Structure 1
Amino acid sequence: MASVEQTSVQNELRELSVKPIHRSRPWTATAILVGGPILIAIGLVIAVSFGARDIHFSDIWDAIFHFNPKVANHHIIQELRLPRVLGGAMVGASFAVAGAVMQGMTRNPLADSGLLGINAGAGFALALCFAFFPQLPFMYVILYSFLGAGLGAGLVYGIGAMARGGLTPLRLVLAGAALTALLGALSEGIALYFDIGQELAFWYAGALAGTTWAQLEVMFPWIAVAFVMSVALSRSVTMLSMGDEVARGLGLRIGLVKGLCAVVVLILAGAAVSIVGAVGFVGLMIPHLTRKLVGVDYRWIIPCSAVLGSLLVVFADLAARMVNPPAETPVGSIIALIGVPFFLYLARKEWREL
């Protein structure tokens, strides 16, 4: 008799789990997945063309397919601008997918690697790395970034869980803000004491300048594996987004799935921070925008977030270079101009719902 009742409950939960998928908009998602890469390609070409020295489109084609070491523009394209814009696309996708997985896994609309201390933890680890192991290859630097991201996430969730009433979205954000301030101060102290302010300047500013092919070669496999994992976990994240009880009733191994999701987030956020530094709000804004466009099925949200995140960072970096040429504005500042009002709107909405 008990097994019959349990089967009945599971059938009802399965019916509930199908409803959000029916509310998805696959045609919109398909349009993003088809049109988005085209827009990204256009943005990459424009971003390579404009800068302190404008370059004609034909030179870009020649530099990629008919490289001539004697032409100065070819060196600028190959050694400076191409790795920069490709790094921006990878970073935007990483932050956006990390935010989408975090928001679905925790059911926290304010979840973002920058707001929950993950970026600050990675930055603190980088400060220690530059101070004590200045000649360490980037392959190992990125591992330090992963460890720091895990440290930041663990501390934030630990601090948030200690509060009376348990974890809430606002408590997590407050804990993240406090930890970010602490780790940021410690990182600055390390930079001053060991005189490594120049090496850490990219992290404080959140800029893509100085990205190299060697960094992208190390970063790409990590991001590719994490992205494949996030897509494989997307159906499970959809179940988690409906609540642990529903997910458990559907037979989901919640502990295992959340552990794998945490690994994905730490890899994506850690890799992105190791390249671009403290850029926040990408993982906050993009998943919300994506859900508005494609619905609540994470099988669509995750890949579409990757596309839209890449678009945001590529064009934000282009805008950063065009605000006050030939000087550059940090891309993190451009994104924050949009992200801060969006965060305040979400925080106000959450406060009203408490």
Structure 2
Amino acid sequence: MILARALDGRRVVRLSGGLQIRVGDLTTLACLLVAILIAAIVSLTVGTTPITLGDAAATLRRGPGGGDLAFAIWEVRLPRILMGVLVGGSIALTGAMLQSLSQNPLADPGLLGLSQGSMTALMLIFVLFPTMPQGVLPLAALGGGLAVGILLLLLVGRGNAGGMAILLMGIAVETTLSSVTSVLVLYTPPEVSLALADWMAGSLFRSSWNSLATFTPWFALGVPAILLLGRSLRSYDMGDQMAMSLGENLPLSKPVILVTAVLLTSAAVSAVGPLAFLGVMAPHLANFISPTSGRGRLVLSAAVGSLLVICADMMTRAFAGDIPLPTGLAIVMLGVPMFILTLRLRAMRRMRRQ
């Protein structure tokens, strides 16, 4: 490992295998990880049960069991924080992958219908088989997401269609499935409709150590995805034709990227429900903080997504009332102003360069 300069003059760390990492990206990642750690620590103290930092530290040292404070931290808040980190990173990572694949900055799991496929399958399970074991839900979500992914591949062709065709076909599929979920919500018994509407808003409320253990293996897929697909996604950022000229095997890599996105999205939806707009916001915020591509963009997007979900969950617990604020709504309230600000600052930056 040596410190050098790239062709554009920026300092990079070159590894023995030929991989190089920009020093700026490493610095940004370190800052984001520190921010995630700080947000997680503060989140331990926020909720209906007031806890100071000293009490939280002492409770963590003692371990689970023994009083209301231990229950609040070990059984409620800590699983929610860890689930927020994993789910936020997965959805943001998926959004960055799909934006590169489709060459469209608005692409995310919801827009391409992947989230909707998983959500429709789960809603059918909730309505038709309400006594189904919890362990089947991730498999049902995976089946719905894979069905949408396979349908997209059949409709646009394996590697033969451009990113815009994938995006437009995904929008058509998502719209069709949205009508199905609307029918399920409207024509089911009131108590079922309320439960479905609450779940569709996205929430970490049901997070537990069991659900965390179920979701973690699916999240582990993101690590090899970053390592193996980063180079392909950097090629796709320059367009399909340029990717082909660089030696990218489109009929192979496109389905692999899409299936990986389906796996991460389906697991996230089954764990917490859909978190709308997170897959769009996080990659753009990460790109504004440190413009990069390939593996660097995937890692930074995942870190920003984790930070947004932790902060949004902390907001839901800080302002908890008779009607709890869904995490998905809190993410929109927190992230959209930041998203608009970054777009405005980016536009002003471009105008100064002209």
**TM-score (norm. length: structure 1):** 0.80
Residue type of the partner of 1:181? S
Alpha carbons of 1:329 and 1:22: their partners in 2 closer, same or farther (altered >3 Å)?
same
Structure 1 window deviating more from structure 2 (54-63 vs 120-129): it is: 54-63
Change (3 A) 1:65 1:29: same
1:185 matched to 2:178: no
- Alpha-carbon separation, structure 2, partners of 1:156 and 1:339: 29
Q: Which moved more, 1:138-147 or 1:331-340?
A: 331-340
Name stretches of at least 5 consecutive residues in structure 1 with no aligned partner: 1-17, 350-354
* Whole-Å separation in 2 of the counterparts to 1:144 and 1:152: 13
Per the alignment, do residues 273 and 179 of structure 1 end up closer, same or farther by CA in structure 2, a change over 3 Å counting? same
The 3 A distance-change label for structure 1 pair 221 and 170 is closer
One-letter identity of the residue aligned with 1:93? G
Aligned length: 325
Runs of 4+ in 1 over 6 A off after TM superposition: 18-25, 156-161
Q: Which residue of 2 aligns with 1:175?
A: 172
What is the aligned partner in structure 2 of residue 312 from structure 1? 308
Structure 1 position 28, deviation (Å): 2.9
Query: Match for residue 218 of structure 1?
Result: 214
Q: Would you say 1:230 and 2:226 are equivalent positions? A: yes
Match of 2:38 among 42, 62, 74: 42
Equivalent in the alignment of 2:66:
70
Q: Deviations over 1:185-215 (max 9, x none)?
A: 144157x159634653442221111211111
**Partner of residue 90 from structure 2, selected from 83, 87, 94:** 94
Contact in 2 for aligned 1:124/1:186 (Cα 8 Å): no
CA distance in structure 2 between the partners assigned to 1:20 and 1:299 by the alignment: 18
Note if contact 2:204-2:327 (Cα within 8 Å) is conserved in structure 1.
Answer: yes
Change (3 A) 1:201 1:81: farther
**Are 2:271 and 1:275 aligned?**
yes
- Specify whether residues 65 and 175 from structure 1 end up closer, same or farther in structure 2 by C-alpha distance, changes over 3 A only: same
Distance 1:160 1:322 in 2: 46
Query: Do the aligned partners of 1:124 and 1:187 also contact (CA within 8 Å) in 2?
Result: no
| Distance in 2 between residues matched to 1:42 and 1:287, nearest whole Å | 21
Q: 2:325 aligns with which of 329, 332, 335?
A: 329
Say which structure, 1 or 2, has more relative contact order (CA 8 Å, 6+ apart): 1
Matched, 1:27 2:39: no
Say if 2:99 is the partner of 1:118: no
* Partner SS, residue 29 of structure 1: helix
TM-score normalized by the length of structure 2: 0.80
Cα gap change, 1:37 to 1:296, in 2 (>3 Å): closer
More helix per residue: 1 or 2?
A: 1
CA distance in structure 2 between the aligned counterparts of 1:21 and 1:216, rounded to whole angstroms:
43
CA RMSD of aligned residues (A): 3.2
Map of 1:13 onto structure 2: none
Alignment partners' CA distance in 1, 2:218 and 2:95: 17
- The 1:194/1:135 distance shift into structure 2, 3 A limit, reads farther
In the TM superposition, 1:97-108 aligns within 5 A as 97-108=93-104
C-alpha distance in structure 2 between counterparts of 1:286 and 1:186, whole Å? 31
CA contact (8 A) 2:90 2:265 kept: yes
Equivalent-residue separation in structure 2 for 1:73 and 1:40 (angstroms)? 23
Worse overlay, 130-139 or 209-218: 130-139
